[in-house]
Amino acid sequence: MGVLRRFGFAAVVAIGLGLMAMVVVGRTVLGAASDALATASPARAGQGGAPQVVAVPVALHSFDDSIQAIGTAQARESIVITPKVADTIRTLRFDSGDHVRQGQVLVEMSSVEQSADLDEARAGNEAAQQNLRRYQQLFNQGYASQANLDAVRAAADQAQAQVHAGGSRISDRTLRAPFSGVIGLRTASPGQYVQPGTQIATLDDTSQIKLDFDVSETHLASLASGVAIVARTSAFPSRVFNGVIAQVDSRVDPATRTVRVRAILDNGDATLRPGMLMTVEIRSNPRQAMAIPETALLDRADGSYVFRVAVKDGAPSAELVRVQVGQRSAGVAEVLSGLDNTDRVIVEGLQAVRPGQPVRVSAPAPAPRQASALDQATPARADQSGADQSGGGALRLRE
């Protein structure tokens, strides 16, 4: 019994000593953790300070209103050469691709019968005119009545009309160019029998090109005669064709809500051809306006915002400002309202900025200078010199 008591007391003492050791170790670990936390706190405090941002001033930039469209090129004047009457082609006085002048004879039809009829009409007319002159003399001398003179004069007029009709039938069998231009591919041959509507060739005046395209009715205010356009075609991707709007249609298509616009392009070198598909850009209302880089914009559901650099308590801070944006081009946005020309906007570091937060502002880095040939050559010479010296040192070591 006494032994048990002695052993029980020893166990209690051992347990107490163990608990005391655990308490000491725990305090040591907690103290170390506190010291580590205290050491880390200043670092975090430093990270939560004013963020570094890049700001640029609001500047003036050139803008214009641009409208995009697609159109089809047409010749200034264009016709299909076709006969007026059914007959056989006697002569073709052109070939494919020829340049012809206005009034030039292009096609002569077989007109033997018509020529004979014309000769007969001319002979009859000559006889009728002589008879009229004789009756006029007799009437003047009082040997012919007024009724006989009127009948002879009517016959003479009829004979003259038959001559004109015969000449018209001959003219219908001679096709002339109504304007100067270029002949297309010939699709008929001499001796071929043709009828009205049969295509013999085409004639196009391509000194100027009419470019027709459709524009939404919402842009009617920007469309007027004389407004400049720029046209391009995939056939000549490196060329730009300049022109002006000539006419705007008087009606809006109720189905598509568009209006047809016609522009005129100069084509003195005959590069463009009728039927080509072209893209059109209408440029109007050129102006100088305030602008900022698009990277400064924060586009949200309720509009566009920017962070403007403001002064608060004597230090720069970020102020969230709503702006109204107009045209955007080449990474620059037109500012219609919300800023003035003395403001600066943040373009870099936006993710770390909050409204009203102090910021550290720096100017944008200058564009890298292109190294000249001398600058590029100097390091090479220096490297060669260093290599020579290094090589010489290696040689001395080997020696």
User: For 44-48, 54-58, 98-102, 332-336, which range has the lowest pLDDT when averaged over its residues?
Assistant: 44-48
Taking alpha carbons only, the member of 53, 62, 42 closest to residue 326 is 62
Taking alpha carbons only, the member of 133, 203, 91, 188 closest to residue 125 is 133
Taking alpha carbons only, the member of 75, 71, 70, 80 closest to residue 210 is 75
Q: How far is it, in rounded angstroms, from Cα 27 to Cα 334? A: 65
Q: What is the DSSP letter of 358?
A: B
Give 70's Cβ-side CA count (13 Å radius): 4
Instruction: Specify the pLDDT at position 230.
Output: 92
Taking alpha carbons only, the member of 276, 208, 274, 213 closest to residue 242 is 208
Query: Exposed, middle or buried by CB within 10 Å (0-12, 13-18, 19+), for 298?
Result: middle
Q: How far is it, in rounded angstroms, from Cα 294 to Cα 394? A: 57
> Which pTM value belongs to this model?
0.54
Q: What is the DSSP letter of 186?
A: -
Domains 53-58+289-362 and 206-287 share a fold: no
Contact call for residues 277 and 233 (beta carbons, < 8 A):
yes
Residue 325's pLDDT band, with cuts at 50, 70 and 90, is very high
Q: Which residues pair with 290 in a beta bridge?
A: 60
Pick the CATH number of 83-110+173-199 from 3.40.1050.10, 3.40.109.10, 1.20.1250.20, 2.40.50.100: 2.40.50.100
Please write the tens of the pLDDT for every residue from 220-251: 888 889 888 999 999 999 999 999 999 999 99
Taking alpha carbons only, the member of 109, 82, 265, 104 closest to residue 179 is 104
Please state the rounded mean pLDDT for residues 360-373: 63
Residue 148's pLDDT band, with cuts at 50, 70 and 90, is confident
CATH architecture of 53-58+289-362: Beta Barrel (2.40)
Each domain of the chain, given as residue ranges in start order, spans 53-58+289-362, 83-110+173-199, 111-172, 206-287
Please state the rounded mean pLDDT for residues 364-370: 60
Please state the rounded mean pLDDT for residues 332-349: 91
CATH superfamily label, 111-172:
Helix hairpin bin (1.10.287.470)
Instruction: Specify the pLDDT at position 335.
Output: 93
Instruction: Specify the pLDDT at position 371.
Output: 47
Please state the rounded mean pLDDT for residues 33-54: 52
Taking alpha carbons only, the member of 233, 348, 315, 293 closest to residue 58 is 293
Q: How far is it, in rounded angstroms, from Cα 356 to Cα 118? A: 101
Instruction: Specify the pLDDT at position 399.
Output: 33
Mean of pLDDT over the chain? 79
| Residue whose tokens read 């100027």 | 208
Residue 9's pLDDT band, with cuts at 50, 70 and 90, is low
Instruction: Specify the pLDDT at position 139.
Output: 80
Please write the tens of the pLDDT for every residue from 178-213: 999 999 999 999 989 999 989 999 999 999 999 999
Residue 3 has pLDDT above 70, yes or no: no
Instruction: Specify the pLDDT at position 233.
Output: 94
Taking alpha carbons only, the member of 208, 207, 268, 265 closest to residue 240 is 265
Say how far residue 156 (Cα) sits from the centre of its chain: 67
User: What CA–CA distances, in Å, run from 198 to 92, 172, 202, 298, 364?
Assistant: 15, 15, 11, 65, 72
Q: How far is it, in rounded angstroms, from Cα 227 to Cα 162? A: 54
Please state the rounded mean pLDDT for residues 323-348: 90
CATH superfamily label, 206-287:
Efflux pump adaptor protein, beta barrel domain (2.40.30.170)
Phi, psi of 369 (to 5 degrees): -75, 135
